[in-house]
Amino acid sequence: MWRISYRGRSLELGKRSFIMGILNVTPDSFSDGGRWVDPEQAVARALQMLQEGADIIDVGGESTRPGHQPVVAEEEMRRVVPVIEALRKAAPDAFISVDTQKAAVAEAALEAGADMLNDIWGLQGDPEMVRVAARWQCPVVVMHNQNGTAYRDLMGDIAAFFRRSLDLAAGAGLPEELIILDPGVGFGKTPLHNLEVIQKLGELRGLNRPLLLGVSRKSTIGKVLGGLPPEDRLEGTAAAVAICIANGADILRVHDVRAMKRVAQVADAIVRPGRGGFEG
């Protein structure tokens, strides 16, 4: 069990699976690019996801899909800050995450009311990121990532990456208790690597930190299903989410909140008897 707390809001991880709803305020994300670029529509979508059972809203202003076009920090801030400010006013108790690899954007998002950083480079990209996190003493999702797909030992290399991130956090004064680990399905990995990460997720339990998985609508699911596009990957995502929970995931980052919340409730009732909220 882990308690992740910030600004009076807490996540009691370990008792059940938590749902992180994806809110991409970008024109070019792989699945829903362009749908939520208007701040009012973005906030309405966030409120809908909260009503459907999301525990965390993850706001992202830069697509990180393969082949994405990077955006400058100022543009990314222009996209995410108004949404975070408006969402904080509309839902004061919501747990808000910002999905960014830039320290300047992270700082602006925290000032706007975000509670958590979600860094696709696990504090090992922008050297200022760990210092921002330490200054704010906020929770951080540390995701594994690398350039290329060569590994000596997939799970061992991912664990080594996480240990470096934890060392960086400790060195900057960011407590380990604020770190959540994400093995980075779809980042620096082949489709077979992605499936192996899900299969062997339990090997990361030795790091004694909560685990987050982002498998929603990923291209690996599309390949398994014969090339289906993102909008047709709901059932495949549901299967992956259920297996992730069975293998130890604590947080699932998803697009389809209502459906995946139900998947998680059933999976929890099976793999977390007495703790998933189902009493029979």
State the pLDDT at residue 67: 61
Query: Which CATH number do you get for residue 127?
Result: 3.20.20.20
- Whether 279 is in a domain gets the answer no
- Starting at the edge strand found earlier in the chain, the sheet holding 95-99 runs 179-182, 140-143, 116-119, 95-99, 56-60, 18-24, 251-254, 212-213
Tens-place pLDDT, residues 28-54: 554 554 565 688 899 999 999 999 999
| 138 falls within a domain | yes
Low-confidence ranges of the chain (pLDDT < 50): 30, 33
pLDDT at 23: 95
Task: Tell me the longest C-alpha to C-alpha distance in the chain.
Answer: 52
Helices (H), 124-200: 129-136, 154-172, 191-199
Options 79, 209, 253, 261, the catalytic residue: 253
Domain range holding 159? 16-65+72-271
Query: Is 4 a domain residue?
Result: no
Between CA 35 and CA 257 the distance in angstroms is 16
Q: Could you tell me if residue 156 is inside a domain?
A: yes
Q: How many structural domains comprise the chain?
A: 1
CB 61, CB 71: distance < 8 Å: yes
Enter the pTM of the model. Answer: 0.94
pLDDT of residue 38: 84
Phi, psi for residue 90 in degrees, rounded to 5: -75, -30
pLDDT tens figures, 76-123: 999 999 999 999 999 999 999 999 999 999 999 999 999 999 999 999
Identify the helix (H) or strand (E) that includes residue 179: strand 179-182
Given 45, 88, 189, 218, which residue is catalytic?
Answer: 218
Handedness of CA 113, 116, 121, 125 (dihedral sign): positive
Q: Residue 119's beta-bridge partner residues?
A: 142
| pLDDT score, position 235 | 98
In the chain, how many H helices and how many E strands? 9, 10
Instruction: Determine the straight-line distance between the first and last CA of the chain, rounded to whole angstroms.
Output: 23
Within a domain: 190:
yes
Measured CA to CA, the distance from residue 123 to residue 127 in angstroms comes to 7
Q: Nearest 10 degrees: CA dihedral of 141, 12, 49, 96?
A: -50
218 a catalytic residue: yes
Task: Note whether residue 200 is domain-resident.
Answer: yes
pLDDT of residue 5: 92
Whether residue 176 lies inside any domain: the answer is yes
**Count of C-beta atoms within a 10 Å radius of residue 206:** 8
Helix or strand or coil: residue 127?
coil
Q: Is residue 278 part of a domain?
A: no
Q: Which two tokens stand for residue 240?
A: 């992956």
